[in-house]
Amino acid sequence: MSDVAITTLLMFALFALLGSGVWIGLTLAGVAWIGMQLFSSRPAGDAMAITVWGSASSWTLTALPLFIWMGEILFRTKLSESMFRGLAPWVSRLPGRLLHTNVIGCTIFAAVSGSSAATCATIGKMTLPELGKRGYPDDITIGSLAGAGTLGLLIPPSIIMIVYGVSADVSIARLFVAGIIPGVVLAGLFSGYLMIWTALNRDRVPPPDRHMSFGEKVYESRHLIPVVVLIAAVLGSIYAGVATATEAAAVGVVGSLLLSAVQRSLTWQTFRDSLMGATRLYCMIALILSGAAFLTLSMGYIGLPRHLAEFVTSLGLSPFLLIVALAVFYVILGCFLDGISMVVLTMGVILPTVTAAKLDLIWFGIFIVIVVEMAQITPPVGFNLFVLQGMTGKEITWIGKVTFPFFLLMCLMVLLLWWFPQLATWLPSKM
Amino acid sequence: MRRILDWLYDAAAWLAALAMIGVLLMVLLSIVSRQLGFNVPGTDAYAGYSMAAAGFLALAHTLKKNEHIRVTLLLGRLRGRGLRVLQMWALSAAVLLAALFAFYSVRLAWQSYALNDISTGNDATPLWIPQITMALGTVVLLIAFVDEWLLHLRARQPRTVPGEALHNE
Amino acid sequence: QTKWDLPAAYPATNFHSVNLEQFAKDVDKATGGKLKITVHANASLYKAPEIKRAVQQGQAQIGEILLVNFQNEWQIFGADGLPFLADSYDESMRLYKAQKPFLEKKLGEQGMMLLYAVAWPPQGIYTKRTLNSAADMKGLKWRAYSPATARIAELVGAQPVTVQAAELSQAMATGVVDSYMSSGSTGYDSKTYEHIKNWYDTQAWLPKNAVIVNKAAFNALDKGTQDALLKAGAEAEARGWEASKAENTRTQNLLKQNGMNIITPPAQLKADMKKVGDTMLKEWLDKAGPEGKALVDAYRK
Ligand code: NA
Ligand code: NA
């Protein structure tokens, strides 16, 4: 059977199962099963079990449940409310006002967490209820959260950079540093879009609170102290060499519990609720991750991503067209696979072409991170969309729709990166 | 019967929650041991096993709380018989897939035992022990899906799960 | 036409993976396209610890494993990870020859066969400190990634630290880890020179990657294809050992160019480490039983 026919059949199976309301994790496993049974010489069952176990017990993932738990604890403290009180006076002149909290929150939290799902879940747990309470509309708050959550990958530390660094044989330390400026620029694009959106939708943003003098603003900022202390503790534990980036999540949980105790919101009830809430949210993601791991294995056996990558590299394109083609390739792949799988499955084929085109591998790494970020928010398989569906109960198609402008902003970011490669290469060259 | 089933889902969920605490404790242990200069071999592996246990053992409970996500776009538009047919189809597919998942998870643990598969890390754990959580969790998930399937089959009206209707915009 | 999948754990650019690609091409050519082997490098199909089992159960017909990884299961798999038992390419080859009948027997019992094995470059000590004797290693934050490296730390009084390969770079930068043992090639690939400036060329051991084949899959091939596979394997083995030596020289030069001091261990350090090796050999022999003794006797003969 040709690749086109296999792809068509699998896509049909995917959309049929998803569309008829089969649970997403099971759908992915089902499509993987069909693909492997029909189009590979290996039986699917035992391979599925080995792979699912390997991915579910993989140590690199342990930060995810812990950060989710941290979010559930913080959600039950007064932390988010006080964070908003502290931030409000400073953003009151900015068009969009508190809408920027998602972007600011994700940018800061991205410096703590290496995963986009964890960033999205932790910040969303705090901002979504507060923004809703203050009358900000759902579509823009959820969209901006899904978009900004992806910054978890671009701003160091970042799991995907480690995976790319190992595959491409480039310095992970340099990659981390290279991500900082593009991360801040992308956050700026998100904020800029929020301002434009506000200008066009004035009536949809609640009116500002009363005007404050500078002194009052500074005084109100005292409410930011708990958040700043918590983030400083987590970041500090990484940079002081106390914890690795993955272990820092545990520092975050302990810090949140302490904070919760200090604020007197820690009771047996809130502890139990946060624990069970986190276990369920993590479990929901874990089922999808299991399905995705099996789908990756199945794709590895069938060889679809590899063949597609071989096709792209066989075109003999100019560097610019190569990047455009790769962007399209990864966006398509990203609709169905998660970021890490995409990198692992394709790097062996893509890298020689990239090297031959004399593209800087650090620069290319940042490019890859941005296209993987895009994959996080494209349906049907987009992890930030899943996290947000789990948290808000909104339909995934709707979340995909409200997130689309942020997808376009990331496309713009890729172009900026092409026109100004120094965005990625300047900082590492100073090391 | 109902009480036994609900007890089963809850018990598994409590074990999952304990495993979640286990992840935290294992990671903390690795931080603290480094600071205090003692060594507990295999904390990384144990954290991974605990995480797997947390994920698998909570599967049924999460399903019963309606927190496993799916696309309800079509389900939300149908009424009456159409809704019922589609629900039964989705549940049947889920029962089949959950059965495969459970069967091969049990087989994984069994074969790990038979093949004497031992962790390659510093923990040197026989892998069938942590894999029991995967076998157990997926079997309980299968039971929960069969349970849901029967509940839907017996119901006179199409069952709408609380909150699900709200998910559509 | 038969299609085989070959999972491997190391990136496509690693010399082992390059060798595997060449091996797959050779097989393709020698069998006139009758046996096609697809190499899945970079752990893209199965992760390192899963590959042996995948081959054993037939999920993959052939695969590449790091033998010492499976020491927990059977001590003989870890013989090439014993410090200072075989500390040069020649001795490593002799150890391999002594180890081979044992490996073939064990893998045979598990429904597999050994096609070929290639040594990694010799292991040395990366450290931020200057070492004159083992006493200088006291209190080092030592990355312990295997039972053997953890035991070395204990014996020299260093603090064994658990850090995953993925986080090694950051852990070195922030001081979570200030020393570990590895080859020049792995140290270069992981950019250790960005954080650590000394490498003591102790040549402690040369771990081997082995390519293993599922016996049933092999038996299903016709005689001509089997012979072509075995021949290509033998060639890959010879090529691989040479590639390993070349990689050792190449990466040591690259390390030097990047500011790494490559240091021949001082006499005292060497003597102390030899003692560590003797202790570990004794402990290993206790665990490995008569098989272990037979292996060491055959090697030392
Ligand atoms: Na990050
Ligand atoms: Na996607």
Instruction: Give me the interface pTM, i.e. the ipTM.
Output: 0.93
Instruction: Give every CB contact of residue A272 below 8 A, 6+ residues apart in sequence.
Output: none
- Interface touch A46/B108, C-beta < 8 Å: yes
Handedness of CA C239, C66, C178, C203 (dihedral sign): negative
Cα A117 from Cα C265, distance rounded (Å): 47
Instruction: Give every CB contact of residue A425 below 8 A, 6+ residues apart in sequence.
Output: A178, A360, A362, A363
| Residues of chain B positioned with their CB less than 8 A from the CB of C145 | 122
The position carrying tokens 């820092």 is A248
Cα C281 from Cα C293, distance rounded (Å): 10
Which subunits count as partners of chain C given 3+ CB pairs below 8 Å?
A, B
How many angstroms separate the alpha carbon of residue A267 from the centre of ligand 2? 39
Q: Considering CB atoms only, which of C49, C154, C164 is closest to B44?
A: C164
Nearest ligand by distance to the CA of A385: 2
What pLDDT does A15 receive?
87
Cα C182 from Cα C193, distance rounded (Å): 13
One-letter-per-residue 3-state SS of A236-255: HHHHCCCCCCCCHHHHHHHH
Q: Is the pLDDT of residue A166 over 80?
A: no
pLDDT tier for residue B169 given thresholds of 50, 70 and 90: very low
Instruction: Give every CB contact of residue C272 below 8 A, 6+ residues apart in sequence.
Output: C133, C134, C135, C156
- Tokens representing B72 are 């309800």
Q: What are the φ/ψ torsions at residue C127 (nearest 5 degrees)? A: -155, 150
- Interface touch B115/C164, C-beta < 8 Å: no
Q: Is the pLDDT of residue A290 over 80?
A: yes
Q: Closest Cα partner for C37 from C205, C228, C196, C287?
A: C228
- Interface touch B120/C162, C-beta < 8 Å: no
Nearest ligand by distance to the CA of A235: 1
Q: What is the pLDDT of residues C87-105, one digit of tens each?
A: 899 999 999 999 999 999 9
Q: Is the pLDDT of residue B162 over 60?
A: no
What pLDDT does B130 receive?
97
What pLDDT does A94 receive?
82
Q: Considering CB atoms only, which of C48, C56, C72 is closest to B118?
A: C72
Q: What is the pLDDT of residues B93-148, one digit of tens each?
A: 999 999 999 999 999 999 999 999 999 988 899 999 999 999 999 999 999 999 99
Question: Are the CB atoms for A26 and A291 separated by under 8 Å?
Answer: yes
B30 reaches C (C-beta below 8 A): yes
Tell me the angle at which helices A396-419 and A319-334 cross, rounded to the nearest 10 degrees: 160
Q: Is the pLDDT of residue B163 over 70?
A: no
Nearest ligand by distance to the CA of A118: 1
- Interface touch B93/A397, C-beta < 8 Å: no
Amino acid at A115: S
Domain that residue B7 falls in: 2-166
Q: Closest Cα partner for C173 from A181, A63, A172, A158?
A: A172
Question: Are the CB atoms for A375 and A341 separated by under 8 Å?
Answer: no
| Residues of chain A positioned with their CB less than 8 A from the CB of C37 | none
Please list the helix, strand and coil fractions of chain C in percent, rounded to the nearest 5, in that order. Answer: 55, 20, 30
Domain count, chain B: 1
CA distances from A164 to A342, A362, B59, C181 (A): 10, 10, 32, 24
What SS3 class is residue B161? coil
Cα C91 from Cα C125, distance rounded (Å): 20
Q: Is the pLDDT of residue A430 over 50?
A: yes
Handedness of CA A304, A298, C14, C242 (dihedral sign): negative
Q: Closest Cα partner for A174 from A187, A162, A186?
A: A162
Q: What are the sequence ranges of the domains in chain A?
A: 3-13+25-59+284-429, 61-272
Q: Considering CB atoms only, which of C71, C146, C159 is closest to B39?
A: C159
Cα C165 from Cα C95, distance rounded (Å): 27
- Tokens representing B16 are 């999952």
Residues listed for chain C: 301
| Residues of chain C positioned with their CB less than 8 A from the CB of A43 | 59
Chain centroid to CA A12: how far? 27
What pLDDT does A337 receive?
82
Q: What is the pTM of this model?
A: 0.92
Instruction: Give every CB contact of residue B123 below 8 A, 6+ residues apart in sequence.
Output: B41, B42, B45, B46
H/E element holding C249? helix C223-257
pLDDT per residue, tens digit, chain C (301 aa), is 899 999 999 988 899 999 999 999 999 999 999 999 999 998 889 999 999 999 999 999 999 999 999 999 999 999 999 999 998 999 999 999 999 999 999 999 999 999 999 999 999 999 999 999 999 999 899 998 888 888 999 999 999 888 887 788 888 888 889 999 999 988 988 889 989 999 999 999 999 999 999 999 999 999 999 999 999 999 999 999 999 999 999 999 999 999 999 999 999 999 999 999 999 999 999 999 999 999 999 999 8
- Tokens representing C17 are 């993976």
Cα A271 from Cα C261, distance rounded (Å): 53
In chain C, at which residue ranges do the beta strands (DSSP E only) sit? 2-7, 35-40, 62-66, 112-119, 123-127, 141-143, 159-161, 179-183, 198-200, 208-214, 261-263
How many angstroms separate the alpha carbon of residue A374 from the centre of ligand 2? 7
Q: Which residue of B has its CA nearest to C78?
A: B120
How many angstroms separate the alpha carbon of residue C272 from the centre of ligand 1? 43
User: C92: exposed, middle or buried (C-beta count within 10 Å: 0-12, 13-18, 19+)?
Assistant: buried
